[in-house]
Amino acid sequence: MEARKSTLKLILFTFGMFGFGFALVPLYDVFCDITGLNGKVTGPTITTYDQEISSREVKITFVTSNNKQMPWSFKSSSPQMKVETGQDYLMDFTFTNTTDKPMIAQAVPSVSPGRGARYFHKTECFCFEQQFLAAGESITIPVKFIIDPELPADISSLALGYTLFDVTEEFANLQAKN
Amino acid sequence: MSAVIDSHHDDHHHGPAKGFSRWLYTTNHKDIGSMYLWFSLVMLFIGGAMAMVIRAELFEPGSQIVSPEFYNQMVTNHGLIMVFGVIMPAFVGFANWMIPMQIGAPDMALPRLNNLSFWILPVAFGILLSTFFMEGGAPNFGWTFYAPLSTEYAPPTVTFFIFSVHIMGASSIMGSINIITTILNMRAPGMTLMKMPLFVWSWFITAYLLIAVMPVLAGAVTMMLMDIHAGTSFFKAGGGGDPVLFQHIFWFFGHPEVYIMILPAFGIVSHIIETFSRKPIFGYSSMVYAIASIALLSFVVWAHHMFTVGMPIAGELFFMYSTMLIAIPTGVKVFNWLSTMFKGSLTFETPMLFAIAFVALFTIGGLSGIMLAIAPADFQYHDTYFVVAHFHYVLVPGALFSLLAAAYYWIPKWTGKMYDETLGKVHFWMSFISVNLTFFPMHFVGLAGMPRRIPDYAMQFADWNMMVSVGAFLFGISQLLFLFIVLKCIYNGKEATTEVWEGAKDRGFEWTVDSPAPYHTFSSPPSMESLKSSS
């Protein structure tokens, strides 16, 4: 039964490839993590830099936008700031739930140019968790960040963008449990 | 169809049942092959009608006939039907008919699976086409169904679309497993792998591509399904997912998929060119290695479809160079075909005309492909009509012409009747002229910046677009002539000889059996010695 053997092998291979399709999801994340592609930024990092490393000035631009029909108002307190590499900075972001219903939001960060993403360290960020706001409520939360002195010399400005997503439905269950 | 029924079969060969149940329950590779071919011909006219709507809308600038929403549905379903409903099933139909006959096997290795893999196809396309009559309309997000357009912003019918893609994938996978098992286990004694006919080789490799990437497509649509209905966030940035991931997974499937639609064409064209050049194919083993290397390369070039997505320079360079590498094995094939024709005793019957047009026009499509592979240039070409011109050149005068060539080449063997040579040539010249009239000007408007998938365009593109539309209507009419030629051949053709084409007997087992091919062939395997040019 040679035919049966090859059929079984091929069926196994097919299921393997179906699994591989799903394995691409974590592989993609790992690949982006390692290479810093795609402007993806990593989780909170605790970093301090030796003051002796020569620092330089970098311009940081803050961009906020809302996904789809997300009705909240979402702003940074200043559109841009000049920073020295290797030092801690704070920038305030204000969220306002302009609707008459409680909602949950998630801000997703992205750094541009993508090459600079791995040098943009956020030590504290609201983007690591969801924001729950009652109707009409407003909140101001700072982002704490350090620009790595290793930032390639040809990058003189970075943009930190946040897109605000409405995740009320996705996290409704979680909220109920808490 | 009655022409394939063997009217004077031996007693121990039971003939086909009568009526519809013959087709519903059949496990005969010839019956199933015929059903695949008729199915894809029907789908060609459905998908073609959608193309006619698109070209009618684009005949003049401004909104003409259909709403932009319906136009999007036309563009999406034209693509889906032509790819999954025409080109792929047609090649599977040829595989069913010809692979057992070319390797000297009595049937496919898994005949019942074969029946199943055909009969779920009409179900899949029934589901897809039924979405036109549902609330929200048919899928409208392009045949590449990028998330989140196909998830968060999709019409509610997207679930039916996902289900139908699952069924199409299952059909292709079952068909491919069957083809590989048949080729591995049922070859005539003495037919080593490197003595297999090139059509068998091309399908052997294509079938492996299919079982490698169709499951990945199934995974992608399953993730979409879960994002839509199960609250997961594979492609939702808000939940930690990434829409760009969709494009990577899709094109990991999508690029091998475009070779799935062209590799069997390479096999077909090789057979036709050697028959009508009356010479064995030049560089047989280099042909095999070229097909294999194209197939392997197809797995490492996918991101050239998404140069503008925001990749680092290293990625752009890698995918640019790996894509350009594909030109080498493809060039080997083109020069092998030319060398086969060189100093051959050429005659220009209809299959040969289509095959030569394939070589010339497919090469044009390949060259525009190299232009698109240049990453910095692609930023200009991306999502313009230049891309539309490129892939239509490889799929219409490429894949479709090879299918038409194959139909003319083998139809005397299937039906026992010759097609009308004069009408065949008329069909060829009408198709050849109109296909170029349709797709060549698309290069110009594309380079000038006309975007694809938009139901309107700027005034300066009006003249070329009108010409394109006229060409498209003419091409549509030409294919109705093809249907007429096929029907005329079946019902009113002249008797065909066993050999059909001069000298064909020495080139393949399929030409050693009667015309029409009996319902059962090669109950005992043929001998390789009967083929003179089997070296």
ipTM over 0.90: no
- Cross-chain residue pair B181–A14, CB shorter than 8 Å: no
Q: Determine the 3-state secondary structure of B132 from DSSP.
A: helix
Give which of B149, B168, B146, B150 is closest to B159, Cα–Cα: B150
Domain span at B60: 25-530
CA distance B359 to A178: 67
Which residue numbers of B have CB closer than 8 Å to A's CBs?
109-110, 152, 173, 176-177, 180-181, 184-186, 211-220, 223, 231, 233-234, 236-240, 242, 244-245, 248-249, 252, 310-312, 315
Q: What is the pLDDT along chain A (178 residues), one digit of tens a residue?
A: 688 899 999 999 999 999 999 999 998 888 777 766 666 666 666 666 665 566 788 999 999 988 878 889 999 999 989 998 888 899 999 999 999 989 999 888 888 887 888 888 888 888 878 888 998 899 999 999 988 888 888 888 999 999 998 888 777 765 554 4
pLDDT tens sequence across B56-71? 999 999 988 999 999 9
CA distance B462 to B60: 6
Q: Determine the 3-state secondary structure of A114 from DSSP.
A: helix
B453 catalytic? Reply is no
CA distance B6 to B518: 5
A166, HSE (Cβ side, Cα atoms, 13 Å): 17
B76 phi/psi in degrees, rounded to 5: -65, -50
Q: Determine the 3-state secondary structure of B458 from DSSP.
A: coil
How close is the nearest chain B Cα to the Cα of A81, in Å?
Answer: 25
What's the confidence (pLDDT) of residue A53?
63
pLDDT tens sequence across B117-163? 999 999 999 999 999 999 999 999 999 999 889 998 899 999 999 99
Give which of B345, B500, B508 is closest to B421, Cα–Cα: B500
Q: Are A165 and A105 in contact (CB under 8 A)?
A: yes
Residues 6+ apart with CB under 8 A from B351: B272, B275, B276, B405, B406, B408, B409
What's the length of chain B?
Answer: 535
Q: Tell me which of B170 and A124 has the higher pLDDT.
A: B170
Whose structure tokens read 């019902």?
B491
Domain ranges of chain A: 1-35, 39-177
Q: Is residue B15 in some structural domain?
A: no
**A44-55 CB burial, b ≥16 within 10 A, e <16:** eeeeebeeeeee
pTM of the model: 0.88
> Based on the structure, what is the number of domains in chain B?
1
CATH of the domain at B103: 1.20.210.10
Q: Tell me which of B168 and A52 has the higher pLDDT.
A: B168
Q: Tell me which of B502 and B3 has the higher pLDDT.
A: B502
Which conformational region is residue B449 in: left (phi greater than 0), alpha (psi within -120 to 50 degrees), or beta?
A: left
Residues 6+ apart with CB under 8 A from B143: B75, B76, B78, B79, B80, B83
| First CA to last CA distance, chain A | 59
B270 catalytic? Reply is yes
Q: Tell me which of B461 and A166 has the higher pLDDT.
A: B461
The one-letter amino acid code at B330 reads: T
Of A21, A114, A166, the CB nearest to B249: A21
Pick the catalytic residue: B259, B284, B302, B511?
A: B259
- Output the 3-class SS for B377-426: HHHHHCCEHHHHHHHHHHHHHHHHHHHHHHHHHHHHHHHCEECCHHHHHH
- Cross-chain residue pair A169–B110, CB shorter than 8 Å: no
Superfamily of domain covering A39-177: Ctag/Cox11 (2.60.370.10)
pLDDT tens sequence across B272-324? 999 999 999 999 999 999 999 999 999 999 999 999 988 888 889 999 999 99
pLDDT class of B10 with cuts at 50, 70, 90: very low
Rg (CA), chain B: 23
pLDDT tens sequence across B185-202? 999 999 999 999 999 999
Whose structure tokens read 């503008």?
B308
B494 catalytic? Reply is no
Give which of B180, B182, B204, B181 is closest to B194, Cα–Cα: B204
In this predicted structure, the answer to whether residue B5 has a pLDDT above a threshold of 60 is: no
- Cross-chain residue pair B238–A170, CB shorter than 8 Å: yes
What's the confidence (pLDDT) of residue A69?
80
Average pLDDT, rounded, for chain B: 93
- Output the 3-class SS for B166-208: HHHHHHHHHHHHHHHHHHHHCCCCCCCHHHCCHHHHHHHHHHH
Residues 6+ apart with CB under 8 A from B467: B437, B441
Rounded mean pLDDT, B18-30: 90
pLDDT above 90 covers a percentage of chain B that reads: 87
Chain B interface test: which of A4, A15, A25, A42 (most B C-beta within 10 Å):
A25
Q: Is residue B245 in some structural domain?
A: yes
B8 catalytic? Reply is no
CA distance A168 to A102: 8
Residues 6+ apart with CB under 8 A from A23: none
What's the confidence (pLDDT) of residue A37?
63
What's the confidence (pLDDT) of residue B530?
76
